[in-house]
Amino acid sequence: MKDRFGREIDYIRVSVTDRCNFRCIYCMPEGGVVPKTCADILRFEEIARFLKAIVPLGISTVRITGGEPLVRRGIVDFVRMVRRIPGVKDIAMTTNGSLLAGIAADLKRAGLDRVNISLDSLKPERFRRMTRNGDLKSVLNGIDAALENGLEPVKINCVVIKGFNDDEIMDFADLTRERNLTVRFIELMPIGESEKARMDFVPADRMSRVIGGELEPVEYPGEGAGPAVYYRLPGAKGYIGFIAPMTGHFCSQCNRVRLTSDGKLKVCLDSEEEFDVKAALRGGACDEELRRIFTGALMKKPEGHRMNVVRFGKPGRTMCQIGG
């Protein structure tokens, strides 16, 4: 399925909850967000029903997100539901990793292929400050469990923020030397809390200069290369990637849409336009009607984001409410 700009859309990010056990400074207010009620959130069966309707249009990759997806009960059963949908080739999950150690084996058996783990500091006290309550050790245990259970490639997503963690870039890069980890450095996007707090992103080219001339450009061999540009340190087992939404402008290759936990389809992370899937599902829509909503939404997918433009007015959803 192609949008009006000829981009092949084959990837959907599905948020299963807006709740999270962390309060990361750039993602969620310190007091959290007002949580949706159970009635507001799509049931797993409803999400699976929507996926079954649209997968025949060419969707092959499903990424499960939150909030923190592992805080939702029944998440293993949901992975199993998605695995049973004909045409789904790749199931991934983005998680903060803090709850992963105890459930990684079950997720793998249910059909999860791989995980991305959000981790922005390797210093325990700084990590606690950035997450406002997080325990670094639990996340490191989650990374170990992901590797041990073959949820590979295991990617570490590190949002680099000026004055917060930009002094740890080399520490993260060194993780790839002895372990099969892919560390991806991400430019901070002005969405939700990061915009309100006026946090400053570090350009990807500056990140790469910190690591220096050791970086060797490579073609990424694993699943889900996405918008990152990949490199490798000489002799390293893992990979290093840079994701540059602010300076890289990779919208021309965007292949994804998002379904929020409360049942809204978003065709661009930066757009406030949403399409109501929940109302259609609960109103008795047939598969063909669901497909019409999906294809109609794709035709309104913008050519690119406008995050570099100064905007005023009411802020949109936080990242945890969108699903990243």
Contacts of 212 (CB under 8 A, 6+ apart): none
**Domains in the chain, number:** 1
Tokens representing 165? 């963690």
Q: What is the mean pLDDT of the chain?
A: 91
Whole-number percent of the chain with pLDDT over 90: 77
Binding-site sequence positions for [4Fe-4S] cluster: 20, 24, 27, 251, 254, 268
Q: How far is residue 201 CA from its own chain's centroid?
A: 18
Does 1 reside within a domain? no
CB 316 within 8 A of CB 8: no
Rounded distance between C-alpha atoms, residue 234 and residue 79, angstroms: 37
Q: Is residue 275 part of a domain?
A: yes
Please state the pTM of the whole predicted model. Answer: 0.92
Residue 197 pLDDT > 80 = no
Residue-wise pLDDT for 263-274, tens only, equals 999 999 878 899
Quick one: the chain helix, strand, coil %, rounded to 5? Answer: 30, 20, 50
What integer is the mean pLDDT of 221-244?
92
Paired tokens of 45: 């069966």
Residue 5 within any structural domain of the chain? no
Find the domain containing 249 and state its range.
11-322
Binding residues for GTP: 13, 63, 94, 155, 256-258
Instruction: Please report, for the domain that includes residue 281, its CATH number.
Output: 3.20.20.70
Show the tokens assigned to 149: 């259970």
Going by the annotation, the residues of the binding site are 13, 20, 24, 26-27, 63, 67, 94, 118, 155, 189, 251, 254, 256-258, 268
Residue 3 belongs to a domain: no
**What does the alpha-carbon distance between residue 216 and residue 324 come to, in Å, rounded to a whole number?**
29
User: What does the pLDDT look like over 99-149, one tens digit per residue?
Assistant: 999 999 999 999 999 999 999 999 999 999 999 989 999 999 999 999 999
What confidence tens digit (pLDDT) does each residue in 88-109 have? 999 999 999 999 999 999 999 9
Q: Percent of the chain, pLDDT > 70?
A: 92
Instruction: Classify residue 2: in a domain, yes or no.
Output: no
In a domain, 117, yes or no: yes
